[in-house]
Structure 1
Amino acid sequence: MTMRVQMPHLLARAGTVSALTLVTLGGPIPAHGAAPEAELASVSAKALRIAASKQGAPYKYGAQGPNSFDCSGLTLYSFRRAGRALPRTAAQQYRHTEHVSRSARRGGDLVFFHSGSGVYHVGIYAGEDRIWHAPKAGAVVRLERIWSRAVWYGRVR
């Protein structure tokens, strides 16, 4: 019952669209004056939805959409459509992001797979240890469980 009383106040305070986006991403509803963080969460949520909408699109090396993708092409395309520019390769994208810990990751963050200090693959974090990604030749864009512990996380600003 307490939730029902508080929700209208919270929705009025944060704005219905922002609040629903943040609830979807699992983030806190922002306090007054926190518009930049809410905007970033909204961009990440939109990029995540765009990547998910490409489910089944074939992998093609060097492809940046809209009908086929390689891994960094999918992330570049998704964030470009959401209003943020990213560099072309997974390694360049890693250097372009704000690095976050596993415990601080949230939906829409980028997940970078690495071997030593080299980044070789990227996907978009979807929550529950899963990512949307374009895995390899012969495969399609899909939602998949993170299969390695050798990952870093980055937030697009």
Structure 2
Amino acid sequence: MKRMIKVLLILAATVAAVAALAITAGATELKTGIGIVEASGGLRLRSQASTSSDILSTAHNGDNVVVIRQVGDWYLVNYNLKIGYMHSDYITFKERENIELGYGSVDPYLANIRSGPSTSSGLVDQAGSGAKVFIFGFNCGWYKVKYNGQIGYIRSDLVTLLEKPYCNSGSSSSGSSYSSATGYDDSYSSGSSSSSSTSLGTQIANYGMSFVGYPYVYGGTSPSGFDCSGFVQYIYRQFGYSINRTATAQLANGYYVSYDSLIPGDLVFFGSGSSASHVGMYIGGGEFVHAANSRSGVKISSLSESWYAARYIGARRIVG
């Protein structure tokens, strides 16, 4: 009896291990290409390769996806940092594409960056675990990246994407007119999408937004826990900018910009007089990302919210 129980436990552990590998495979395997959505009304991202499975998001016409692999009539893709399935009939597949995918984080202890998309190409640099590389192209399973001021290629299975592609319009899960036969939603207009700015300020703001949900820790300056000024200091440090530690001291960094002239990446301050008790990073559309408090962690808020509107004291531009 004891032997039978032991065998059953081993089998259960094996099944669990295989399941775990299946779940993470999409994130760690070599990617096969870039897909361009060709559906004037939008295209559903689904949890499984079936029109009856859950809808995770909706891509707009012209949006880009990173294709992990083909599964029958479907592609397993990464769309705006969500892994799911899209019907291949509405995807134009490309093995090579110039595309700004934004920043990615290196996964292994040490990864080689090479002069070409091949393990036989010369070594340009090496990046350690957690290092940020800027991805601006794809070539037969390799990302074309900029790292430490140099251009090179890194295998796509060694990098985790941190941002949605700058050219993507965003995503939506709403819409009522959907054809289950095609997996295609005709309730969206192809003329509604617009390209995002690729300015450095926008890149910095997008990177800041990738930390939404991270914890707040008083005095914290790293992803294990941020306070408000530690958060913006950390984000700017990843782009090579050194700014002061506290919110009030950061009022001396960069230069003043008016409320009407805010652009993504600007620091927005709240407090009284010349003293700042809180700081965040403007992301556009009247919103900012910030390490709010121990209850909310890093979140996005509106400048028009009563607490912030009553305490807004100014903004500073660090880049541009």
TM-score (norm 1): 0.71
Alignment check: 8 A CA contact 2:236 2:243 kept:
yes
Q: For residue 241 of structure 2, what is the aligned residue in structure 1?
A: 84
Q: CA deviation at 1:110?
A: 0.5
2:232 equivalent among 64, 69, 75: 75
Q: CA deviation at 1:46?
A: 2.5
Partner Cα separation in structure 2 for residue 47 and residue 91 of structure 1: 21
For the pair 1:117 / 2:278, whether they are aligned, the reply is no
Q: What percentage of aligned pairs have identical amino acids? A: 31
Instruction: Output one character per residue of 1:55-92: Cα deviation in whole Å (capped at 9) or x when no partner.
Output: 11010001011221000111001111122111111111
Partner Cα separation in structure 2 for residue 67 and residue 47 of structure 1: 19
Partner Cα separation in structure 1 for residue 229 and residue 285 of structure 2: 21
Q: 3-state SS of the aligned residue for 1:75?
A: helix
Partner Cα separation in structure 2 for residue 24 and residue 81 of structure 1: 21
Q: For residue 316 of structure 2, what is the aligned residue in structure 1?
A: 154
Alignment check: 8 A CA contact 2:268 2:315 kept:
yes
Q: 3-state SS of the aligned residue for 1:121?
A: strand
Alignment check: 8 A CA contact 1:46 1:82 kept:
no
Alignment check: 8 A CA contact 1:100 1:155 kept:
yes
2:196 equivalent among 24, 30, 33: 24
Structural mapping, 1:2-151, within 5 Å: 24-25=196-197, 41-42=199-200, 44-146=201-303, 147=305, 148-151=309-312
Partner Cα separation in structure 2 for residue 58 and residue 131 of structure 1: 17
Q: 3-state SS of the aligned residue for 2:205?
A: helix
Q: 1:127 to 1:149 in 2, by over 3 A?
A: farther
Alignment-mate amino acid for residue 50 of structure 1: Y
Aligned residues: 124
Q: CA deviation at 1:142?
A: 0.7
Instruction: Output one character per residue of 1:12-56: Cα deviation in whole Å (capped at 9) or x when no partner.
Output: xxxx96xx79x634xxxxxxxxxxxx9xx41x2222122111111
Q: Which runs of 5+ in 2 are unaligned?
A: 1-98, 101-165, 168-194
Q: 3-state SS of the aligned residue for 1:73?
A: helix
Of 99-108 and 144-153, deviating more is 144-153
Q: 3-state SS of the aligned residue for 1:96?
A: coil
Alignment check: 8 A CA contact 2:206 2:283 kept:
no
TM-score (norm 2): 0.36
Q: CA deviation at 1:94?
A: 1.1
Q: CA deviation at 1:149?
A: 4.2
Alignment check: 8 A CA contact 2:281 2:288 kept:
yes
Q: 3-state SS of the aligned residue for 2:248?
A: helix
CA RMSD of aligned residues (A): 2.0
Alignment check: 8 A CA contact 2:205 2:264 kept:
yes
Larger relative CO (CA 8 A, sep 6+): 1 or 2? Answer: 1
Q: 3-state SS of the aligned residue for 2:222?
A: coil
Partner Cα separation in structure 2 for residue 72 and residue 50 of structure 1: 16
Q: 3-state SS of the aligned residue for 1:24?
A: coil
Return the structure number with greater strand share. Answer: 2
